Structure formats: C-alpha cells, structure tokens
C-alpha cells in the first residue's frame, strides 16, 4: 500500500474556491462549446502532417490548432500576430471571462490575479531566431514565461498577484493549485488561470529523439498503444471565491503534489508517487476514495505511463476503481495546458452530467482497471471528480472538483 500519509498538523477545511468560467483553443477549434461537442461525439482531432526532424521527414500525428483559428486570432490581436502563445492564451482567457457571468463585475484590478502554466511558452520564436528569421520584440520576449505572464496580465487587466508555473506536464494542475491558494490566502478574489503550449520544432525534435511518439496517433490505455501525440493551444479557468457565484457551482476542493523520488526518466515507477498525490488531494478535500464518481487520468498513450497510472489507481481505490478515462486521443498531450484543459473537460462533465469517453481506444489494456469508460455515457448523480497528471522528473499532481459541495 505504501507509506500512509501523515496527518497534517492543521485540520484542512475543504476550500471553497469556485470555477466561474472556462475557455479553450485546441486542435478541435476555438471555444469550449466546440470542444465539448467533440467530447460528446468521442471523436479525435489529431491530424497527420509531414515534419522534417533532423535529416529525415517524419509523419507526425498531433493536435495542431487549425490554421483558420490562427488566422482569425491575428485579426483580433494584430500587435502579437507572430506570437501564437500570446494569442492562444489571450483568446482562451477572454472566452473564460465572457463565460463568467457577473462574477467578476465589481472586482477591482488589484484583486484580480493571474497564474500562467506553460512548459516552453513562445518557444517557436526560438526556433525562428535559430533559423535567422525575423521575430517581433514581443514574440521574442514571450519566450520567457514570466514575461508572457506579465503581457497577459496587462492585456486582461490583472493588477493583483501574477505567478508563472513551469513544471513539465503537471504545470496546469499546479497552476490551479496556486490560483486556489492565492484566493485562500486572501491575496486575490479572482484568479485567471491559463495554460498555453505550442507544437514546435524544439519540442517535436525532443520527443522524437526519445522515441516516445506514436506516428499514427496516441491510444491511451489501449492494448496496442505505441506512444504519445503532442497537442497545442490554450485553456483558461477563472477561479473565484465561492460566494461570488450563484448555485450550482463547480468547486475546487482538493489538491496535492508529490515526487516519485525514484528515477528521472522513470520506467520502473510503481505508481506510488502518483498515489501519494491523489491521497493528498483526497485528504485536503476531506473525502475517502469511495466518494469519487469519475477520474480523468493523464493517459498519454505511452506503454510506461498508462501502466503506472493503472497501478496507482488500484493502489488507491483497490478493486473499486471508479469510472475513468483519458481525453488525449482527442487533442493530444498538451503539456503545460493539460491540467487546465482536462479540468475544463471535468467541469463540463459535471455541468452536463456526462462521463467522457476515451477517444481512439480500440481494446482496453488488460492491466487497466475494467471501469475504463470507452464511449461517453450519461452519469447518475456525478458529484465528485478526481483529475491527475504526471510529469518528467517524477512529479505528480491531483485535484478534486465537486459540484455544489456543502
């Protein structure tokens, strides 16, 4: 079972941080409504393109943001037209603000914070500089994540605390935790959490050199899975103090992080590190495992990751693993966005009372718990969702969302 989590000295009251609005730009297109339609239809927006890596041309299947979406964004953000990172993030944030109803109405700028989640920010500008192409000053400066965060804070009118999390694939969930903490500590009443990452020569070359890509497209938890598919775009979630929203509201009630403390590129992970992060989130939310109704997994489609997650789930939930699934077959592994984007999916699952499926799944891996949800189905009283991600360096993160907790 592993080391039991020591009880914290302080008794955690479940935090009442609510989600006011969401935004998303992904391979599916622009907007959460478009995204949710694709989730309901259980389709995949992964596309194949030829890409030169090193000395060879590769077939790369990934979640590319459609060119027409980029073109439309250049019209609305002419000053940042050559920074897709800025445009994606700003668009997702503006959509989320628009979806927040009246919650943000009377919040002054100095009580409005922003937390950015990204692994490489506007890294494609570095590729362009390396090829001696002309790059605008904002696009260059936005290679630096803290400066991208600052530019976004200015654009969105955030005069409160601004943070930037860059922690591999757990960045998104880590950023949500930081947003919740800023509100809990009284440093802000509203926090705009936004994740953004790009498919670039830089990142493609890296994952290709590790031989971890599936040229045909990822198949999380599938018997025949061969690797991951990258994804890009942005996702935003507006966090607010619970009392700013009318009921019913989706709340962020638990969170936790951990490290495996095992091996940097970790093929022998037994899931105990991820299990620890999950237990920490459950403890903060004051929930027991059997109270979780649905789990949204990390599910990259690599042999090792999905195996390790299956072990972690069995470790925490025993024989009674709740229904679970993974969405990366739809938009790919979006790295720094994943935690935010996949939480957007969970928020919608709670709002629409629908369990998402696991797109591109053909046959469940025998190691994966049987409760894997292949195709979407209506949920009976879906109340509490667990979301987790794991990253390079043995890091793990988990959050818990609840619909209208007491």
Partner 1 sequence: MESLIEELKTKIIAGFNLEGVKPADINPDEPIFGTGLELDSIDALELVAILESDYGIVITERSVADKAFASLRALAEFVAANRT
Partner 2 sequence: MNTTVIHAASYLGPEGFGNDLTGFCPWPEALAENLKKGELDGLHWSLLSNSDPSRFLRMDLMCRLGFMAAELLAINFDALPDARRDRVGVCVSSFTGCLDTDIRFVRMPRPSSFAYTLPSTVIGELCIRYRLKGPVLSLITAAPGGAASLTEALEWVKAGDADLALCLSLETMNPSTVGTLVLPPELAPQSWHGAAMLLGPAENGAREKPVEVGSLQALCQKLCRLASHE
Name the binder of 123 from partner 2, partner 1, none, CB < 5-8 A by kind: partner 2
- Give min distance, CB of 366 to partner 2, in A: 30
**Distance between CA atoms of residues 164 and 155, nearest Å:** 16
Name the binder of 270 from partner 2, partner 1, none, CB < 5-8 A by kind: none
Consecutive H or E run containing 137 = helix 137-141
- Give min distance, CB of 264 to partner 1, in A: 8
Among 37, 267, 320, 353, contact with partner 1 (rule: CB under 8 A):
267
Among 37, 210, 248, 318, contact with partner 1 (rule: CB under 8 A):
210
Phi-psi region of 2 (alpha: psi -120 to 50; beta: other; left: phi over 0): left
Which of 341, 400, 406 is CA-nearest to residue 177? 400
**Distance between CA atoms of residues 366 and 194, nearest Å:** 36
Phi/psi for 123 (5° steps) reads -60, -25
Which of 348, 356, 169 is CA-nearest to residue 274? 169
Beta carbon nearer to partner 2, 124 or 293: 124
Beta carbon nearer to partner 2, 24 or 398: 398
Beta carbon nearer to partner 2, 66 or 283: 283
The footprint of partner 1 on this chain (CB under 8 A) covers a number of residues equal to 8
- Give min distance, CB of 328 to partner 1, in A: 23
- Give min distance, CB of 79 to partner 2, in A: 15
The 8 Å CB, 24+ separation contacts for 264-270 are: 264/392, 264/393, 264/394, 265/392, 266/304, 266/308, 266/394, 267/304, 269/304, 269/308, 269/394, 270/308, 270/311
Cα 271 to Cα 224, 274, 388: the distances in Å are 21, 5, 12
Position 54 contacts partner 1 (CB under 8 A)? yes
- Give min distance, CB of 137 to partner 2, in A: 5
User: Which one-letter DSSP state was computed for residue 153?
Assistant: H
Beta carbon nearer to partner 2, 9 or 406: 9
- Give min distance, CB of 263 to partner 1, in A: 9
User: Which one-letter DSSP state was computed for residue 66?
Assistant: P
**Distance between CA atoms of residues 89 and 85, nearest Å:** 6
Cα 384 to Cα 177, 313, 380: the distances in Å are 17, 16, 12
User: Which residues lie below 8 Å from residue 6, measured CB to CB, with a gap of 6+?
Assistant: none
Phi/psi for 385 (5° steps) reads -120, 140
Site stretch for partner 1 (CB under 8 A), options 144-152, 207-215, 250-258, 374-382: 207-215
Name the binder of 225 from partner 1, partner 2, none, CB < 5-8 A by kind: none
Beta carbon nearer to partner 1, 53 or 107: 53
Q: What does the binding site for partner 2 look like in residue numbers (CB under 8 A)? A: 3, 5-6, 8-10, 54, 119-120, 123, 126-127, 129-130, 137, 140-141, 143-147, 149-150, 163-168, 171, 174, 178, 181, 185, 201-202, 205-207, 209-210, 256-265, 273, 276, 280, 391-395
**Distance between CA atoms of residues 329 and 342, nearest Å:** 12
Name the binder of 304 from partner 2, partner 1, none, CB < 5-8 A by kind: none
- Give min distance, CB of 83 to partner 1, in A: 30
Beta carbon nearer to partner 2, 42 or 171: 171
Cα 49 to Cα 10, 111, 225, 337, 385: the distances in Å are 52, 44, 20, 22, 35
- Give min distance, CB of 272 to partner 2, in A: 9
Among 209, 223, 262, 375, contact with partner 1 (rule: CB under 8 A):
209
Beta carbon nearer to partner 2, 167 or 292: 167
What is the gyration radius of the CA atoms in the chain, in angstroms? 20
Name the binder of 267 from partner 1, partner 2, none, CB < 5-8 A by kind: partner 1
Are 266 and 300 a contacting pair, CB within 8 Å?
no
Site stretch for partner 1 (CB under 8 A), options 26-34, 204-212, 238-246, 332-340: 204-212
Please name every residue paired with 351 in a beta bridge, in sequence order, or none if there are none: none
Name the binder of 144 from partner 1, partner 2, none, CB < 5-8 A by kind: partner 2
Among 56, 247, 288, 381, contact with partner 1 (rule: CB under 8 A):
56
Give the interface with partner 1 as residue ranges (CB under 8 A).
Answer: 54-56, 209-211, 265, 267
């Amino acid at each position: 079972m592993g080391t039991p989590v020591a009880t914290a000295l302080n008794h955690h009251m479940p935090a009442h941080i609510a989600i006011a609005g969401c935004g998303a730009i992904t391979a599916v297109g622009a907007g959460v409504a478009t995204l949710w339609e694709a989730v309901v239809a259980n389709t995949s927006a992964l596309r194949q393109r030829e890409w030169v890596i090193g000395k060879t041309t590769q077939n790369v299947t990934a979640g590319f943001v459609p060119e027409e979406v980029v073109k439309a964004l250049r019209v609305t953000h002419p000053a940042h037209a050559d920074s897709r990172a800025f445009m994606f993030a700003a668009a997702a944030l503006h959509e989320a603000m628009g979806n927040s109803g009246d919650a943000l109405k009377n919040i002054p700028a100095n009580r409005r914070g922003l937390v950015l989640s990204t692994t490489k920010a506007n890294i494609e500008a570095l590729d362009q500089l390396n090829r001696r192409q002309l790059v605008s000053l904002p696009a260059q400066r936005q290679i630096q994540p803290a400066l991208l965060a600052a530019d976004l804070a200015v654009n969105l009118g955030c005069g409160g605390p601004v943070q930037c999390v860059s922690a591999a694939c757990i960045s998104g969930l880590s950023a949500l935790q930081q947003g919740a903490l800023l509100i809990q500590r009284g440093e802000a009443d509203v926090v705009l959490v936004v994740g953004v990452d790009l498919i670039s020569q830089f990142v493609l070359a890296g994952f290709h050199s590790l031989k971890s890509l599936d040229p045909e497209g990822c198949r999380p938890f599938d018997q025949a899975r061969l690797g991951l598919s990258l994804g890009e775009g942005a996702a935003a979630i507006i966090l607010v103090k619970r009392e700013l929203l009318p009921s019913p509201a989706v709340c962020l009630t638990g969170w936790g992080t951990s490290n495996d403390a095992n091996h940097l590129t970790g093929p022998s992970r037994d899931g105990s590190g991820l299990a620890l992060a999950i237990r920490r989130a459950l403890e903060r939310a004051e929930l027991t495992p059997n109270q979780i109704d649905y789990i949204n997994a990390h599910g990259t489609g690599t042999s090792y990751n999905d195996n390790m997650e299956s072990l972690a789930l069995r470790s925490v939930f025993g024989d009674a693993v709740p229904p679970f699934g993974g969405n990366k077959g739809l938009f790919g592994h979006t790295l720094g966005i994943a935690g935010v984007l996949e939480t957007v999916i969970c928020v919608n699952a709670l709002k629409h009372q629908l369990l998402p499926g696991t797109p591109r799944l053909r046959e469940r891996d025998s190691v994966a718990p049987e409760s894997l949800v292949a195709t979407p189905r209506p949920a009976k009283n879906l109340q509490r969702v667990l979301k987790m991600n794991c990253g390079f360096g043995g890091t793990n993160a988990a959050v818990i969302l609840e619909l209208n907790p007491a």
